[in-house]
Structures are given as C-alpha cells and as structure tokens.
Amino acid sequence: MAGDKKYNRRYFLKTSFNVAASAVAFPYIVSSTALGKDGSVLPSDRITLGCIGLGGQGTHNMNAFLRQRDVQLVALCDVNKGSDDYDFLYQFADNSSAGLAPAKERALTYLATQGKSGEGIDCYQDFRNLLTRGDIDAVSICTPDHWHGSVCVAAAKAGKDIYCEKPLTNTIAEGRAVCDAVEKYQTVLQTGSHERSNDSTRFAAELILNGRIGKLHTITINMPVDNQIEISAQPVMKVPDGFDYDFWLGPTKYMPYTRRRCHFYWRYQLAYGGGEMTDRGAHIMDLAQMANDTDDTGPVEISAIGQAPSDGLFDTFDRFEFKCKYANGVRMIGQHSGVRGLKLEGDKGWIFIHIHGGRLEAEPASLLTEYIGPNERHMGRSPGHHRNFLDCVKTRQTPLASAEIGHRTGTICHLLNIAMLTGRKLKWDPLAEQVTNNVAANRMLRRTMRSPWNFI
C-alpha cells in the first residue's frame, strides 16, 4: 500500500544509516545538523512537499507549510508563471502578484531569513510532472475548484499525501472518486476546512454533543454575499504570456479567454466553482456537520430558492434561502444575510459560532464556561490545520478534515446549488448518494469532463 511505502521509506532511511554506521568506522566529527541536535530535523523525519496552485490561498498555504520545521519545500507548480492582475489577493495586503514566479520569490525570501538558500526548489507548469517525482511525500493542492478532483486522484495514485483546499471537489461524483482513490491507495488527505481546527469551534461541538443546549433541533446558517458583483459580458482578450490558459480550463469545456474568467473571479462561475454556497459555505456547513455529529452522512431533504445574475459572466447564486432536514430530525435553514456564521439551537439554549475565527456567543452565556468532564465526549484539540495534516502524514492517522468529511460537506453545498438550479425539493439518500425523486437533479451530480481529464 502507498501508506506502507511512505512509512517504510522513512524506516529504510533510518535503518540504512544505522547499518552503515555499524559497518564502517564512525567518523570523528558528525555535524549537529545531521544528528538533529541543533533544532534541525533529521532527513529521515522531513516531509518533502510540492505545492500545486499558487494563487493567493495556494501561496498562503505554501507559507504556512514553510514555517513548519520538518517540511522541505522541493517543488512548485502553476499554469500561470506569474502576473500582477489579481484584483482580490486578500492574503497579501497591497500586493496583486501571484503565480509560479512570485510564489518562489516569496519562498526564497522567507528561507533567506532562516539562513537557508532554497536551492533545489523546482518549478513546473504541469502537475503531472511534479507527481512523477519519487522524492515528494506530500502535495498542497490549491487550484480553482474544477481542478481539485483530477489533481487529488492523480496525487493519490502517485502515492502522495494530500492537503486540498475546500470545497474538496466541484461535483458530488468527483468527491466520491477522490474518497475512493484515497482509500484505495492509502494516502492521507486533509481538506482545507480549517475552521474545525479552532479550539472554540471544537469546544462548541463538545457542548452540543454532550447535551449542554439540550436536544439540538435547528441550525441557522448566515452567509452574506459581499464580494460577488453582477458583471456584464466580457470581451475576448489575448491570453497573457506565461499563462497556459487551455490547461487552466482543464476538464471544463473550451471558452474564450477573458481576464475575469480566471484568478479570483472563477468562483462566481458554475463551471469552475459554486459561488458563496461552496466558498465560505463549505466552512460554515462543515461546522454544522461536526456539531450535528453527521460527518459521515448528510441531510435527507433539501430545498432552496435563489437568484443569480441573468446575463454576463457570473452565474452563481448571490441571493438564496434554503431548508434541509436530517434523518435525526435536525433542521438546517439558511439565507444570504445576517452575521456570517451559524446558530445551533436546542431546547435548553443556543450557541452561535462566528466565521471566521470561531468567536462564540451563547444563551445562557454560562454555557461558555462549562467544563467537559473526563467521561464525556471530547473532540480533542488541533495543533493547527496544517500541522495536523503533517502529523498524520507521519503517524498515518486520520486528519481532522478527512476526504470523507470534506466530501460530505461539499455534497450539501452542491445539492443546494442543484436544488436552486432545478427549482425542486430534493430527496437525498446519503448512503447511495443519489437523488431519489428527480432524474434531472441526479444527472447533475456529475458533469461531462473534457478529455484527457475525464477520470470519472
């Protein structure tokens, strides 16, 4: 199995060093770096990393991994060599440069502050070439959503452990394919649903799962849409030098290049993303799943109404209301207004979790000073979402936002979009993963994928 191969690779490195040391005279001087005594990490304990997708969030994730002492960055990949037209690069204030070259420059600048040269970081425009490297243990995937499934499955087949941004995939069928690949090749996958790594959100889930608010009956989701704008039809433009636009389109059908089809704006086009519903919705719905103890399943009824721009480039829903019902009787309702977050109501009180950051409010307020006893259910605490992934790469344990968890959260987001597109109330079988009352909606669980990327 791929997981065994990874473990055995590190075991081989360690035992080979010991055998060699006993077979020949031990050198008079061994550097403290080689032994890991100066705070450095033994080569056998390092995790070699490649980063695929280097826009704002991809570069942010690269930086987060670079700051982990046991990570060695060896490869970067993006179809865009670099450009200065990222209008929304919120991860890097007062900067609009992203892509392959800017990311490498950021990496080298940081490594220089640590007294390291950064020598050996190779750059690629085709992720398949990066995945052929046998010296890479793990990959960070932060492409637009329409690429997540293809790259994750290819990475799993290549035996790489995977950190993939949320939503895990752009369709429900792709999500199941990713889960199957992770299981088959025994790789570790962490979905980038980092809100569940906050201490406060895990404490809120403990309060609910241990009955502090009584029986949970209603989850209210607030998802104000504050970025999407209605945009008119855009002119066809010349593809910028250094940008492999056809590769960027990948499994989606060919469309002429225009700048706002790409970069930040892809998330407002259903071919490439799912709008607010799959963007921040994936964070909020993920916490609802955790607190409702339904990480491995989902609602059984879904209904939604929404409005999307009627013409122009963007076509995702920016006005919506929805209702979901779980088999355990919990209702989840939501709208495009209110303070961003979720309210979890029981018959003895409620808790509100703010997105982002996880600040809590409660009624009664004394809930937030409750003690979770040793015999009660504990959610554990995260050392940080990126760190949790790296620890699981080493231990082969399941991370906090596994492939199955990411897929189930993404499934809810996609079903809500499908309900709005069809205008029908959907009955969902979480076990079979099928819409049972609407053939047209069931067909929308997957999309036609352009060759050679049609892996499902």
Q: How much is the pLDDT for 40?
A: 61
From residue 102, give the alpha-carbon distance in Å to each of 81, 86, 92, 105, 217: 8, 12, 12, 5, 48
Residue 205 is assigned to a structural domain of this protein? yes
| Paired sense of beta strands 349-354 and 341-346, if any | antiparallel
- For residues 190 and 213, membership in a common domain is answered with no
Q: How much is the pLDDT for 18?
A: 36
Q: Which helix (H) or strand (E) holds 183?
A: helix 172-185
Contacts of 397 (CB under 8 A, 6+ apart): 391
d(C-alpha 333, C-alpha 302), whole Å: 10
Among 163, 180, 195, the domain-final residue is 195
- For residues 250 and 181, membership in a common domain is answered with no
Residue 424 is assigned to a structural domain of this protein? yes
DSSP for 223-248? ----S----PPPPP-PPPTTB-HHHH
- For residues 266 and 301, membership in a common domain is answered with yes
The sheet with strand 426-429 has its strands ordered as 360-363, 349-354, 341-346, 216-222, 331-335, 319-325, 301-307, 426-429, 434-435
Closest CA to 299 of 341, 330, 335, 334: 330
Residue 455 is assigned to a structural domain of this protein? no
Structural domain count, the chain: 2
The sheet with strand 138-141 has its strands ordered as 122-124, 71-77, 47-52, 138-141, 161-164, 189-191
Residue 454 is assigned to a structural domain of this protein? no
- For residues 259 and 339, membership in a common domain is answered with yes
- For residues 205 and 343, membership in a common domain is answered with yes
Q: Which helix (H) or strand (E) holds 173?
A: helix 172-185
pTM for the model stands at: 0.91
Q: Is 239 left (phi over 0), alpha (psi -120 to 50) or beta?
A: beta
Q: How much is the pLDDT for 8?
A: 47
What CATH number does residue 103 fall under?
A: 3.40.50.720
Among 153, 176, 195, the domain-final residue is 195
- For residues 190 and 204, membership in a common domain is answered with no
Per-residue pLDDT of the chain (456 residues; tens, 9 = 90+): 444 444 444 433 333 333 333 333 333 333 434 434 455 667 779 999 999 999 999 999 999 999 999 999 999 999 999 988 887 788 887 788 899 999 999 999 999 999 998 889 999 999 999 999 999 999 999 999 999 999 999 999 999 999 999 999 999 999 999 999 999 999 999 999 999 999 999 999 999 999 999 999 999 999 999 877 778 889 999 999 999 999 999 999 999 999 999 999 999 999 999 999 999 999 999 999 999 999 999 999 999 999 999 889 999 999 999 999 999 999 999 999 999 999 999 999 999 999 999 999 999 999 999 999 999 999 999 999 999 999 999 999 999 999 999 999 999 999 999 999 999 999 999 999 999 999 999 999 999 999 999 888
Residue 155 has, within 13 A of its CA and on its CB side, a CA count of 31
What is the SS3 assignment for 221? strand
- For residues 162 and 212, membership in a common domain is answered with no
- For residues 206 and 168, membership in a common domain is answered with no
- For residues 316 and 228, membership in a common domain is answered with yes
Among 144, 164, 195, the domain-final residue is 195
Structure tokens at 254: 């060919």
**Which residues constitute the domain of residue 74?**
2-195
- For residues 210 and 108, membership in a common domain is answered with no
Residue 397 is assigned to a structural domain of this protein? no
Residue 97 is assigned to a structural domain of this protein? yes
d(C-alpha 89, C-alpha 184), whole Å: 37
Q: How much is the pLDDT for 84?
A: 85
- For residues 189 and 202, membership in a common domain is answered with no
DSSP for 55-99? SHHHHHHHHHHHTSTTEEEEEEE-SB--BS--S--TTSTT---BS
Residue 204 is assigned to a structural domain of this protein? yes
What CATH number does residue 211 fall under?
A: 3.30.360.10
Residue 228 is assigned to a structural domain of this protein? yes
- For residues 298 and 215, membership in a common domain is answered with yes
